């Protein structure tokens, strides 16, 4: 039997008797110890850029629950900031950024070579974590996928339908595609630096992929991710990559190959059995449990967890939620989910 870490075995295509488990947003506001460390840092961005405290919050869910993976504590919007966008968070509302919607604003952004000036504390966090994580726990780095990052840079905030980004795509394709290219190039350098610092796996979050229709989905969600994956595979052939094109629906079919990813993360909008038949046949899958079960708990949480484990047991599978855990989740429900996944072990 391989001595590799469980997550790396699943990502290599191995079908394990018990799926390894981690959770999107596992370090977050549902945990009292997270809130305490964030208060110590002052605010969310200060926490992201403080390597000691960012490493501390990354480790908190590992200590409390013994997850099989830790995910670097940072945010997908740090890259726009490193490219020169202003970024701040409004409590209770979310992120705000200076917008990029004109050729002049695009030109005013910094070159990709400048991003490390801002992002070096993130690499420092990774270096600290490589010395502190338990031997069997995998360290996952991440970035936003270009389309999702662009939706925030164009709108200057989260937008329910990504309307401003769709509008720019239709009114000034050159600026839209120029921005997407810059983010794509920046993401390659950012993730490559994360891997050099010690990230063992990287994940691309395309949270808003689902709003791209027709050829736009291929051109603006899949192609930029495929370009990032190809560049990373050339430089770091042994580093597995997870892609999360949220909302892809039936377009989840064939994405392992189209993106070149080792694992496709599923949201909670697809049926697990459908994913087993249509997506897992091509490689490792991750995700699918509705994050609302972390709020409601009980027998339904247990039966839904068992169902997903059972339906996906015939192939490589990493247990996870279909989206990030929410601040109103009960920490005890996370333990119940983990115990249920591992009950047969």
- Total of residues contacting ligand CP3 (CB under 6 A): 21
- For the question of residue 152 being annotated catalytic, the response is yes
Residue 26 known to bind ligand:
yes
As measured in angstroms, the least distance from the Cβ of 334 to ligand CP3 is 12
**H helix or E strand, kind and range, residue 205:** strand 201-206
- CB under 6 A: which stretch of 69-77, 107-115, 126-134, 226-234 binds ligand CP3? 69-77
Beta bridge mates, 70: 139
63-83 residues labelled b (16+ CB within 10 A) or e (exposed): eebebbbbbbbbbbbbbbbbb
CB 283 within 8 A of CB 316: yes
Nearer to ligand CP3, 31 or 279 (CB): 31
Q: Restricting to residues 80-119, which ones interact with ligand CP3 according to CB under 6 A? A: 94-95
* Cα–Cα nearest to 177, from 167, 189, 169: 169
77 part of the interface to ligand CP3, by CB under 6 A: yes
User: How many other CB atoms are there within 10 angstroms of residue 49's CB atom?
Assistant: 20
44 part of the interface to ligand CP3, by CB under 6 A: yes
* One residue of 37, 125, 192, 207 binding ligand CP3 per CB under 6 A: 207
As measured in angstroms, the least distance from the Cβ of 76 to ligand CP3 is 4
Sign of CA dihedral 73, 76, 81, 85: negative
* One residue of 76, 150, 242, 270 binding ligand CP3 per CB under 6 A: 76
- For the question of residue 63 being annotated catalytic, the response is no
- For the question of residue 216 being annotated catalytic, the response is no
- For the question of residue 25 being annotated catalytic, the response is yes
* One residue of 19, 20, 28, 247 binding ligand CP3 per CB under 6 A: 28
Which residue sits closest to ligand CP3, CB atoms considered?
207
73 part of the interface to ligand CP3, by CB under 6 A: yes
- For the question of residue 9 being annotated catalytic, the response is no
DSSP letter for 49, please. T
Beta bridge mates, 306: none
* Cα–Cα nearest to 244, from 312, 168, 147, 137: 147
**Angle in degrees, 0-180, between the axes of helices 146-155 and 223-235, rounded to the nearest 10:** 120
* Tokens 């079919």 belong to residue: 253
CB 225 within 8 A of CB 245: yes
x/- site string to ligand CP3, residues 150 to 189, per CB under 6 A? Answer: --------x-------------------------------
DSSP letter for 264, please. E
**Which stretches of the chain bind ligand CP3, using CB under 6 A?**
24-29, 38, 44, 71, 73-77, 94-95, 142, 158, 205, 207, 324
Catalogue the active-site residues: 25, 29, 38, 75, 152
Annotated binding site: 25-29, 75, 152, 207, 323
């Amino acid at each position: 039997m391989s001595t590799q870490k469980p997550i790396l075995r699943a990502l290599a295509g191995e079908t394990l008797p018990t799926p390894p488990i981690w959770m999107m947003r596992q370090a977050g506001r549902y945990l009292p110890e997270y809130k305490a460390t964030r208060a110590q840092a002052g605010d969310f961005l200060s926490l992201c850029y403080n390597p000691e405290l960012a490493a501390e919050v990354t480790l908190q869910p590992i200590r409390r629950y013994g997850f099989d993976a830790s995910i670097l504590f940072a945010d997908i919007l740090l890259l726009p900031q490193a490219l020169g966008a202003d970024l701040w968070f409004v409590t209770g509302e979310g992120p705000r950024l200076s917008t990029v919607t004109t050729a002049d604003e695009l030109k005013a952004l910094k070159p990709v070579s400048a991003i490390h000036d801002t992002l070096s504390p993130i690499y420092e966090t990774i270096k600290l974590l490589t010395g502190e994580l338990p031997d069997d726990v995998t360290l996952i780095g991440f970035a936003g996928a270009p389309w999702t990052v662009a939706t925030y840079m164009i709108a200057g905030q989260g937008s329910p339908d990504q309307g401003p980004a769709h509008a720019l795509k239709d009114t000034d394709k050159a600026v839209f595609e120029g921005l997407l290219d810059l983010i794509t190039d920046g993401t390659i350098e950012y993730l490559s630096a994360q891997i050099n610092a010690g990230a063992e796996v990287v994940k691309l979050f395309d949270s808003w992929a689902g709003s791209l229709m027709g050829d736009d989905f291929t051109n603006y969600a899949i192609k930029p991710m495929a370009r990032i994956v190809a560049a990373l595979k050339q430089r770091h052939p042994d580093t597995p990559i997870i892609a999360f094109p949220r909302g892809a629906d039936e377009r989840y079919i064939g994405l392992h190959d189209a993106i070149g990813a080792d694992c496709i993360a599923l949201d909670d909008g697809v049926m697990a059995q459908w994913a087993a038949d249509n997506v897992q046949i091509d490689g490792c899958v991750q995700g699918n449990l509705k994050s609302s079960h972390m709020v409601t708990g009980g027998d339904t949480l247990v039966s839904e967890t068992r169902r997903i484990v059972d339906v996906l047991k015939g192939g490589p599978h990493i247990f996870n939620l279909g989206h990030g855990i929410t601040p109103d989740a009960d920490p005890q429900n996370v333990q119940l989910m983990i115990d249920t996944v591992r009950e047969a072990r």
